Amino acid sequence: MGKSRKADRTPSSAVIYHTEIIADLLVLERAEHVRFFSRKLVRPGKLRTFNNRDFRELVLAAFYLGVAALLPVSWWAAICSRVSGLRLKRHIRKDFVRYAAATRAVLGNGIDAQRQFRALLYANHRRRLLLAAHLVGRRWSPDIQLEGLEGLQAALKRGHGAIIWCDQFTAQTIIGKRALYEAGIEAHQLSVSAHGISDSTFGLRFLNPPMVRVENRFLKSRIVFDRSDAYQVTGRIQKILGNNGVVLVTNTVHAGSTFTEVGIGESGWTHLASAPTNFAARGKAALFSMSTFETDPFRQYRAILSPELVPAPAGTPEPTTRAGGAKDMALQAEYILLKRDRLLEALKLYPEQMMIWSGADRFTERPENALPDEGGS
């Protein structure tokens, strides 16, 4: 019998991390715990040449480029709605059970999880068409309302820069940056090399660059995080903040070496990056939360900057587990709770546009300590 060509293919391998709890801090004024984790790379893994979604994403990208170039804006939402339902049964079979458990844990059992899940699929298709609309260069000017700009401008007058901590709603990636750019804010984005649609070799070369190019129109620079040179990235961010610059950080926990876990909503748990709180706690930079929503598909967007996140003067939290640098982490824990509060407010406004839901179980109780899939920053 002939040798199968498949046998010659080098199989992909997963990235392996060693994760451990480094602190579990009780914030006395809130009577809540914030748990800190370290995440060290053990094996980098091997990138797949293609992943299962690459061909579908390529076809959808070509399709939506045609829609954006040829059809009127008034048709766009209906087309996205129709296309989002084509693989509905498969999405429900593969993804719905976990999604329903996570969203009900946060928002309560009274929500219609299946209706919300279908709305998320619809929002994800609008996100694809949103990218296509920016790529084809047609004259299309949606109404983008930016709220909370005055607070950011007041913070910048102090001269120590600002960190804007962005949530992963479907419109944030492009419209959030565009809202700041059109308001005269020149921001620097902290990102990862795999940012975009796919983390395969094919995706990194062909699928992701168009999104990065569109986002870069609205940025002053993109700071790409590299685990092998985290010190240099940290130094660059500190220099930007020292020059009174603005740094955007997306809430993704995959890039850094530490992340946090905190309760959210009814009985849920969410994971928040620790890097923004670290910069805010170590320096004088102001910290803000940002969420961007689509209020009328392809016509109206709402970008919300929170009031500055400022921990109230309080006593020292009680460490219940080993805590390296406990004083600094205590302040970070207060920032984490403030950010969690803003995230929960945003989730209640437009839950169907949130791409990432952490889950109903604690990280340490999950199979193989799996974190949710994320789309980069």
Secondary structure (DSSP) of 2-36? PPPGGGGSPPPB--EEEEEEEEEEEETTTTEEEEE
Could you give the strand order of the β-sheet that contains 187-192, starting from the edge strand earlier in sequence?
143-147, 300-305, 286-296, 162-166, 246-250, 187-192, 221-225
When pLDDT is cut at 50, 70 and 90, the band that residue 372 belongs to is: low
Between CA 372 and CA 197, with CA 37 as vertex, the angle to 5 degrees is 30
Query: Which has more confidence, 43 or 102?
Result: 102
When pLDDT is cut at 50, 70 and 90, the band that residue 199 belongs to is: confident
Q: Which two tokens stand for residue 48?
A: 């797949």
| Nearest residue to 126 (alpha-carbon basis) of 185, 181, 172, 95 | 172
The answer to whether residue 22 scores a pLDDT higher than 50 is yes
pLDDT reported for residue 373: 52
pLDDT reported for residue 18: 86
pLDDT reported for residue 254: 62
The answer to whether residue 265 scores a pLDDT higher than 80 is yes
Least confident residue range of 62-66, 334-338, 357-361? 357-361
SS3 content of the chain, % helix, strand, coil (to 5): 45, 25, 30
The answer to whether residue 68 scores a pLDDT higher than 90 is yes
Cβ-in-10-Å burial (0-12, 13-18, 19+) of 341 comes to middle
| Nearest residue to 122 (alpha-carbon basis) of 85, 167, 91 | 85
When pLDDT is cut at 50, 70 and 90, the band that residue 242 belongs to is: very high
Least confident residue range of 69-83, 306-320, 346-360? 306-320
When pLDDT is cut at 50, 70 and 90, the band that residue 232 belongs to is: confident
What is residue 194's DSSP assignment?
T
pLDDT reported for residue 312: 81
Distances (CA, A) of 217 to 160, 189, 224: 25, 12, 16
Average pLDDT rounded to a whole number, residues 356-369: 79
pLDDT reported for residue 100: 96
CA R_g for the chain? 21
Distances (CA, A) of 228 to 41, 128, 155: 10, 32, 33
Average pLDDT rounded to a whole number, residues 119-123: 98
Distance CA 172, CA 149 (A): 16
Q: Is the dihedral of CA 240, 242, 248, 250 positive or negative?
A: positive
Q: For the chain, what percent of residues have pLDDT higher than 70?
A: 88
Query: Which has more confidence, 315 or 274?
Result: 274
State the average pLDDT for the chain.
89
When pLDDT is cut at 50, 70 and 90, the band that residue 321 belongs to is: very low
The answer to whether residue 10 scores a pLDDT higher than 60 is no
pLDDT reported for residue 313: 72
When pLDDT is cut at 50, 70 and 90, the band that residue 360 belongs to is: confident
